Amino acid sequence: MVQEQIIIDRQKCTGCGVCAAICPYRVISMKDGIAEHSGVACFLCDHCRAVCPQEAITTPLQSATLGLVTIEEKSEVIGPGTSNVPALVALMRSRRSCRNYRDKTVPLAMLLDLVKIGTTAPSGTNSQGWNFVVLPSREDVLVLGSMVSNYYRKLNRMAANPLLRGLVKIFGGDSLGRYYRNYFASVAEALRQWDEQGMDRLFHGATATILITGRKTASCPAEDALLATQNILLAAHAMGLGCCLIGFAVEAMRRAGSMRQKVEIPDDEEIYSVIALGFPAVAYYRHASRKLVEPRIVRLATSRR
Ligand SMILES: Cc1cc2nc3c(=O)[nH]c(=O)nc-3n(C[C@H](O)[C@H](O)[C@H](O)COP(=O)(O)O)c2cc1C
């Protein structure tokens, strides 16, 4: 029988109560000095197992490792304040969107490891409603690229027609007009460069792609998928890969059901990110610079408004 709830081993439990204190659903309580599960289904966040000093708790999702193949996995938990923060920040600042790739295939095992690393992200109510589609070769990327390009060819044909832009504005808002003003010319130029020079302005010559989808019924599918995405971007950089989010492909795939079918995304999932990947053909000497932000500091407790 498949284990569906946490199991507490009464022989091992010493009654320290840490699991009960940490449980977000409050399904664990202390009875006669021993932790007891109420039987109410929880969202299997796994905190109780991870925090138990006696290894007295098992959970259905329990897995000692991610099962990475191309990277050594370390089992020790890095406690708050004990990691190399300067190195972490430097990694974050060194990741750039890569638009120049070498003509070298990324081993499938690296791509699959990246997917596993993506799943370490948090997810709303621990639903883990994400899914991943791996296109492992440049040829696969080109097939997707040609489908996306065809979508924009059609869109540009429509957007070029002022009558149609006007009609759409009357009946469905200014989306086509906005597209015309913001993207029409650059997309037309990118399509021309593709057709005449074979220049890949969409996937930038990437040799692999990971698509991230989310189950529509999950509580926060977009956030879950995008958090997994960021984990993948950072890990890919650390693993020696370059990558770039391709929002143009996401937009096209959202609107063209046929494309989603082709890459085997079921109807109950939405696409949230398309990550182009490959070995980078460019090295940077400086970090990304960013606009300065001025956070609003609101002291609600003393605010008079
Ligand atoms: C949601 C999203 C969509 C993006 N779509 C594209 C895209 O279609 N093509 C592209 O070349 N870059 C795309 N990018 C990359 C951004 O242009 C890039 O993140 C930004 O310029 C900052 O540069 P950096 O990532 O190198 O720090 C996208 C980024 C995000 C977050």
Q: Across the 305 residues of the chain, what is the mean pLDDT of every consecutive 10-residue run?
A: 80 96 93 92 91 93 86 94 96 97 98 98 95 98 97 96 92 91 96 95 97 96 98 98 98 94 96 98 94 96 83
Instruction: Check whether residue 209 and residue 279 sit in a common domain.
Output: yes
**Ligand 1 and 246: CB distance under 6 A:** yes
DSSP character at residue 218: S
In a domain, 243, yes or no: yes
**Ligand 1 and 239: CB distance under 6 A:** no
Chain centroid offset of residue 220 CA: 12
In a domain, 305, yes or no: no
In a domain, 78, yes or no: no
In a domain, 80, yes or no: no
In a domain, 28, yes or no: yes
In a domain, 111, yes or no: yes
Distance 128 CA to ligand 1 centre (A): 25
The number of domains in the chain is 2
SS3 of residue 34 by DSSP: strand
Total residue count of the chain as it appears in this document: 305
Distance 93 CA to ligand 1 centre (A): 14
Q: Whose alpha carbon is nearest atom 1 of ligand 1?
A: 247
User: Which pLDDT score, from 0 to 100, does residue 239 have?
Assistant: 98
In a domain, 120, yes or no: yes
* Residue the block writes with tokens 């190399």: 84
Nearest atom, ligand 1, residue 288 CA:
27
Task: Quote the CA–CA distance of 44 and 119 in Å, as a whole number.
Answer: 15
Residues 6+ apart with CB under 8 A from 47: 19, 22, 23, 24
The model's pTM is 0.94
Contact 237, 243 (CB under 8 A): yes
Q: Whose alpha carbon is nearest atom 27 of ligand 1?
A: 96
Task: Quote the CA–CA distance of 11 and 29 in Å, as a whole number.
Answer: 16
Distance 64 CA to ligand 1 centre (A): 35
Instruction: Check whether residue 96 and residue 32 sit in a common domain.
Output: no
Instruction: Check whether residue 208 and residue 254 sit in a common domain.
Output: yes
Instruction: Check whether residue 91 and residue 32 sit in a common domain.
Output: no
* Residue the block writes with tokens 């759409």: 168
**Ligand 1 and 100: CB distance under 6 A:** no
In a domain, 292, yes or no: no
Instruction: Check whether residue 103 and residue 185 sit in a common domain.
Output: yes
- At 213, give phi and psi (nearest 5°): -115, 170
Lookup: tokens for 7: 């199991």
Instruction: Check whether residue 165 and residue 18 sit in a common domain.
Output: no
Q: Whose alpha carbon is nearest atom 22 of ligand 1?
A: 97
User: Which pLDDT score, from 0 to 100, does residue 172 have?
Assistant: 81
User: Which pLDDT score, from 0 to 100, does residue 3 have?
Assistant: 62
Instruction: Check whether residue 41 and residue 175 sit in a common domain.
Output: no
* E strand spans, the chain: 7-8, 28-31, 34-37, 57-58, 130-135, 208-215, 242-245, 269-278
**Ligand 1 and 97: CB distance under 6 A:** yes
Contact 116, 68 (CB under 8 A): yes
Instruction: Check whether residue 227 and residue 145 sit in a common domain.
Output: yes
Instruction: Check whether residue 92 and residue 45 sit in a common domain.
Output: no
Contact 16, 48 (CB under 8 A): no
Distance 246 CA to ligand 1 centre (A): 7
DSSP character at residue 8: E
User: CATH number, domain at 50?
Assistant: 3.30.70.20
**Ligand 1 and 99: CB distance under 6 A:** yes
**Ligand 1 and 253: CB distance under 6 A:** no
pLDDT digits (tens, 9 = 90+) for 22-80: 999 899 999 999 999 998 888 899 999 999 999 999 988 767 789 999 999 998 999 99
**Ligand 1 and 184: CB distance under 6 A:** no
Instruction: Check whether residue 46 and residue 157 sit in a common domain.
Output: no
Instruction: Check whether residue 50 and residue 95 sit in a common domain.
Output: no
Structural domain for 151, as ranges: 65-70+85-284
**Ligand 1 and 47: CB distance under 6 A:** no
User: Which pLDDT score, from 0 to 100, does residue 62 have?
Assistant: 65
